[in-house]
Structure 1
Amino acid sequence: MTGRAERLRGERTPYVLATVVRAERPTSARAGDRALVLPDGTMEGFVGGHCAESAVRDQALRLLASGESTLLRITPGAESDPLDGLVTVSNPCLSGGTVDVFLEAVIPPALLHVHGDGPVARALADVGRAAGFDVRPMAAGPPLPDAAAVVVAAHGRDEETVLRAALDAGVPYIGLIASRKRGSSVVSALDGGERVRTPAGLDIGARTAPEIALSVLAEILSLRPRPAPAPEPGPAAETEGCRH
């Protein structure tokens, strides 16, 4: 199971690790049983019979969409539970039994492709990894399908080829490390070149390679999609809260 999980991480495949943490007979699962749930609903491993597997699969697929983790309780006749972080579902199987399964969503970190091997490119790799990115070198081929960003810091080598591949792939952030004049010249020759940010990075007065890398990572983070804010409590909720 551990080897399979490592391969999935290497392939950047999201999955949910389901681990039985408590089981009451007559359930067939035992504490420590584990399974992997993949985005297509495939389950590898064992966390109980058909009813348990179905409940685990349904909840795991929801978690893959949110990136969260939770504790799932499958028990006869129960529909809800007041404990925070616990989702309770009814076990419809005649065999009965209660099983608690911890569901951990494992989502690949944001992928940053860096093209180049100079000081700025190396600094981008170091700063990017420190910020939690999966940093990978990019040659003249297409970026991986789930790339969050492509940054070209190659001092003129294969720049247009890499930028064109990133544009064709619809990568959300594409940056070119170059002077304003040279950067404008490069992107003007590209179809859709207006999407390329050059000089890449926020204007923070960066001069050294690590500073430039920091400004680029800051720009990537500033442009990433943000979750919608939680709704403000209504009058009823505010009034109820004042009673306590």
Structure 2
Amino acid sequence: MLDLADELHRWADEGRDFAVATVVNVGGSAPRGPGAALAVDGHGTAAGSVSGGCVEGAVYDLCVQALQDGRTVRERFGHSDADAFAVGLTCGGVIDVLVTPVRADAPDRKVFEAALSAAARGEPAAVARVARGPAGLLGRALLVRPDPAYGPPVEGGLSGSPALDGTAAGEARGMLAAGRTGTVEISEDGSRCPGGVTLFVESSVPPPRLIVFGAVDFATALVRVGKFLGYHVTVCDARPVFATRVRFPEADDIVVDWPHRYLRRTGTDERTVLCVLTHDAKFDVPLLEEALRMPAAFVGAMGSRRTHEDRQRRLREAGLTERELSRLRSPIGLDLGARTPEETALSIAAEIVAAREGGTGAPLTGSRTPIHRDGDGVRRDGDSVHREGDGRAGGGAAGTREAA
């Protein structure tokens, strides 16, 4: 749901009734993961997708029905070998979809409005919904925030039980701190023992940062690709004549400073991507001394193989260990045969995604490489290990339903 925050926040502001179908569990190979959503408003307008096309029509109908009767339902869609024309996933996987009406009379409308508003503003927040539980609880929701500066720490509730609501809020806050979306099992009495209640927690966190050092032509293309991938993009260069808004209109921030000095004062976290495109020792060696000793998801540097060898020699002389040097991806990018700035930016972005998702960069054609992975790089094809979910990964045909 929160992946449609901008659109749904606008719908809510306009007073529209809508229903939202959210993927809450995935088994095997499926086009989209937990959190993918399809929403339908009272006029029949649709936004989003849960499967890339396989079951969209059936899920659309469920949303229309939920708008009419105000009932939350959970339905499973899978591949049916017995009937090739049955509604299901042709890829052989299984998805569980939670369909929630957000009407004017819905008890949790204000919770959803607050969650969508926070996500649309880029503020950290997590909404927890009952994806399976006792009668009457399916779809009930609460919202948590990490800091009172963003609003009340908790809004809404699942059942009126302080113990259950307190445990749910604690679990949601933990998922938010990790920036994770997925399911968690708790008991109806509020204990953290699995069983009784399945919560689906969607986390909305500020976008990860991509910091591009070096205001060169390749950086112009990389900024565009970084924005396309959802990063908050900063360009930093010590030369004011190159680090300008005219050259980088799509960058979120443009900083004129020595790269290592800026990096030291801005800081990084485990989601930050650092791309060093200067290939000038006076800039990139002091910068990489800092970068390779800081938390970051990816540290890459542009340059020829000769430049890379010289850079490594200088970094060793500066005291970096082999373990620190092993974090450096250089020359940056996957081997795509890229020549233009746009092609080079694509090769860099491909390596960033592969590093984040545990991909190999190998062609899928003719290989046994898994197509889909979870956030830890674990495959979720037919013989998948499923780390998040409600333990029901596997085969099955469409049509299994639970209703509030």
| Fold conserved between structures, TM > 0.5 | yes
SS of the aligned residue for 1:199 comes to coil
Residue equivalent to 1:131: 229
Mapped partners of 2:115, 2:181: distance in 1: 20
Correspondent of 1:16 among 108, 123, 126 = 126
Residue equivalent to 1:80: 196
The answer to whether the 8 A contact 1:111-1:146 is kept is: no
Extract unaligned runs of 5+ from structure 2.
1-113, 131-139, 237-258, 359-375, 385-391, 397-404
The answer to whether the 8 A contact 2:144-2:169 is kept is: no
Residue equivalent to 2:344: 212
Matches within 5 A, 1:86-235: 87=198, 103-138=201-236, 139-140=259-260, 141-142=263-264, 143-156=267-280, 158-190=283-315, 191=320, 192-224=324-356, 225=358, 226-229=376-379, 232=383
Is the counterpart of residue 37 in structure 1 residue 145 in structure 2? Answer: yes
Give the direction of change, closer, same or farther, for the CA distance of 1:60–1:194 in structure 2 (3 Å limit): closer
SS of the aligned residue for 1:175 comes to strand
After TM superposition, give the deviation of residue 130 of structure 1 in Å: 0.9
Give the direction of change, closer, same or farther, for the CA distance of 1:168–1:103 in structure 2 (3 Å limit): closer
Residue equivalent to 1:57: 169
Give the direction of change, closer, same or farther, for the CA distance of 1:62–1:110 in structure 2 (3 Å limit): same
Higher relative contact order (CA 8 A, sep 6+): 2
Mapped partners of 1:168, 1:53: distance in 2: 41
SS of the aligned residue for 2:153 comes to strand
After TM superposition, give the deviation of residue 116 of structure 1 in Å: 1.4
Is the counterpart of residue 5 in structure 1 residue 111 in structure 2? Answer: no
Is the counterpart of residue 47 in structure 1 residue 156 in structure 2? Answer: yes
Mapped partners of 2:293, 2:167: distance in 1: 40
Q: How many pairs does the alignment contain?
A: 202
After TM superposition, give the deviation of residue 60 of structure 1 in Å: 1.0
After TM superposition, give the deviation of residue 17 of structure 1 in Å: 3.3
The answer to whether the 8 A contact 1:35-1:43 is kept is: no
After TM superposition, give the deviation of residue 55 of structure 1 in Å: 3.4
Residue equivalent to 1:67: 180
Residue equivalent to 1:99: none
After TM superposition, give the deviation of residue 74 of structure 1 in Å: 9.8
After TM superposition, give the deviation of residue 211 of structure 1 in Å: 0.8
Q: Percent identity?
A: 26
Mapped partners of 2:311, 2:348: distance in 1: 19
The answer to whether the 8 A contact 1:17-1:37 is kept is: no
The answer to whether the 8 A contact 2:171-2:184 is kept is: no
Write the deviation string for residues 188-220 of structure 1: whole angstroms up to 9, x where unpaired. Answer: 211243532222111111111111111111112
Give TM-score, length-normalised by structure 1: 0.63
Mean Cα displacement is larger for which, 158-167 or 128-137?
A: 128-137
After TM superposition, give the deviation of residue 184 of structure 1 in Å: 2.0
Give the direction of change, closer, same or farther, for the CA distance of 1:71–1:168 in structure 2 (3 Å limit): closer
The answer to whether the 8 A contact 1:183-1:199 is kept is: yes
Give the direction of change, closer, same or farther, for the CA distance of 1:228–1:72 in structure 2 (3 Å limit): closer
Mapped partners of 1:227, 1:194: distance in 2: 20
SS of the aligned residue for 2:378 comes to coil
Mapped partners of 1:228, 1:135: distance in 2: 28
Give TM-score, length-normalised by structure 2: 0.41
User: Which one-letter code corresponds to 1:206 in the other structure?
Assistant: A
Runs of 4+ in 1 over 6 A off after TM superposition: 70-77
After TM superposition, give the deviation of residue 144 of structure 1 in Å: 1.5
Write the deviation string for residues 108-155 of structure 1: whole angstroms up to 9, x where unpaired. Answer: 444322111111112111111112233233532234123442111124
The answer to whether the 8 A contact 1:18-1:35 is kept is: yes
Mapped partners of 1:76, 1:177: distance in 2: 56
The answer to whether the 8 A contact 1:187-1:196 is kept is: no
The answer to whether the 8 A contact 2:268-2:296 is kept is: no
